[in-house]
Amino acid sequence: MSRPSLRELAALFARIPNLTFGGGDPTMAALQRELVARRGWLAPEQYGLAFGLARLTPGTNLLAFCAAAAWLLRGALGAVLAVLAASAPAAIVVVALSYGYQALKGNALAMSVIAGLLASAVGMMATAAWRLVRPHVRRGEGLRALVLAGGSVALLRGVAMPPVAVLALAAVAGFFWRRSEEE
Amino acid sequence: MNLLLLYLLLLKATATSFSGLTSLPVVRNDLVVRYQVLTDRQLNAAVVAGQTGPGPYGLYVVSVGYFVAGVPGAFCGYLAMITPAFLIIPMLRYLGARARHPGARSAIQGVTLAAAGLIVASAIPLAQDALTGAAAVAIAIASFLVLIATRLDTLWVIAGSAVAGLVAGFLA
């Protein structure tokens, strides 16, 4: 794993969260690609830990995720820098939108651009989910991956179990259903 | 309204919720019903502003602050939004020290796989809302394929989707 400079860290956290539409989940999906797949700054397990704990942290999950990922990479200063970089520009945009959201809502072209961005957010989320599952499938643990990931979807969508409870259950299931070399 | 009180009320809402809009009932109860410094219409506009722009939906709290007390109020909302994020660091320190244990590693793998499930589960309602026509479906599939098969910067996929949405809007 390579360690980014504070400038590289701030640049990434300023870019992705402030340019991804559709809320925190697509943003964390886009960050997964950049942090794990493209740059190799975080291992998939570190991403999973930051993602899981972000769900257990009160407030905006994305910002807790940014604090966690940046803390793993560059400590406390990195965490503060990442949270500010990830949120300040978008906050300024929100203030501007609060001022003029009616004008934007009536503009068909602006809405077309937003529709394109939201559609791409769906593609980003599918990519992130696949990239988290793929290493397990490649190691021949497709059944374990399918049961844990697919079971989570079923519990969330089927019986509307709270995400925090699903993550806790997955941790317990993962603890008892170990990979062969972990035993 | 006093800015410190506004910050504390918004912090109460953000620190007792676990995702973007779940703090909404607390915000409404305090600012619309109890203190009457915000209208329902403004609260709705704040939610729209938070969802229209980039970034997390939790940003609507910034807009709420703006509607209550202008730019200083927006700053209070911003601080209330980012403060709880740092609670993750002590949790990470505690768990990080134990992450080498085989049982802990296996449990973290379980959480990682569930994270994939969580992403899929939250993509489903977004897909239902966003993929309403052939153009949107094509953009989503193209984004997925480019992201999965190439190492292209994510920013280009975002920019390309915006242009494709604009072209589809012109043609429609």
Q: Which residues of A touch B152 (CB under 8 A)?
A: none
Give me the half-sphere count of Cα atoms (radius 13 Å) on the Cβ side of residue B164: 23
* Same domain for B106 and B82: no
Q: What is the mean pLDDT of residues A66-70?
A: 96
pLDDT band at B20 (very low <50, low <70, confident <90, very high): low
B138 is a domain residue = yes
- The CA distance from B168 to the nearest CA of chain A, in Å, is 7
Q: How many domains does chain A have?
A: 2
* Amino acid, single-letter form, for residue B104: A
* Same domain for B72 and B16: yes
Q: A61: closest CA among B100, B58, B65, B33?
A: B58
**Ordered DSSP codes for A55-96:** HHSSS-HHHHHHHHHHHHHHHHHHHHHHHHHHHHHHHHHHHH
B91 is a domain residue = no
- Number of inter-chain CB pairs under 8 A, A vs B: 406
Q: Of A89, A108, A128, at which residue does a domain stop?
A: A128
Using the beta-carbon criterion (under 8 Å), do A132 and B17 form an inter-chain contact? no
* Same domain for A123 and A85: yes
Q: Which of A34-43, A113-122, A171-180, B105-114 has the highest mean pLDDT?
A: A34-43
Range 35-54 of A in CB contact (< 8 A) with B = 37-38, 44-45, 47-54
* Same domain for B149 and B75: no
pLDDT at A118 over 70: yes
Q: How many domains does chain B have?
A: 2
Residue range(s) defining the domain that contains residue A162: 139-183
A92 is a domain residue = yes
Residues A166, B139: contact at Cβ < 8 Å?
Answer: no
pLDDT band at A183 (very low <50, low <70, confident <90, very high): very low
* Same domain for A124 and A89: yes
* Same domain for B114 and B60: no
| Average per-residue pLDDT for chain A | 85
Q: Of A128, A149, A174, at which residue does a domain stop?
A: A128
Interface pTM (ipTM) of the complex? Answer: 0.75
Number of residues that make up chain A = 183
Residue range(s) defining the domain that contains residue B25: 3-86
pLDDT band at A90 (very low <50, low <70, confident <90, very high): very high
Residues B62, A49: contact at Cβ < 8 Å?
Answer: no
- CA angle (A32, A36, A41) in 5-degree steps: 125
Residues B122, A102: contact at Cβ < 8 Å?
Answer: no
A173 is a domain residue = yes
Which whole-number Å values give the CA distances from B46 to B3, B28, B80, B110, B150, in the listed order? 18, 12, 15, 37, 37
Residues A73, A42: contact at Cβ < 8 Å?
Answer: yes
Residues in Cβ contact with A129 at an 8 Å cutoff, skipping those fewer than 6 apart: A29, A149, B116, B117, B119, B120, B123
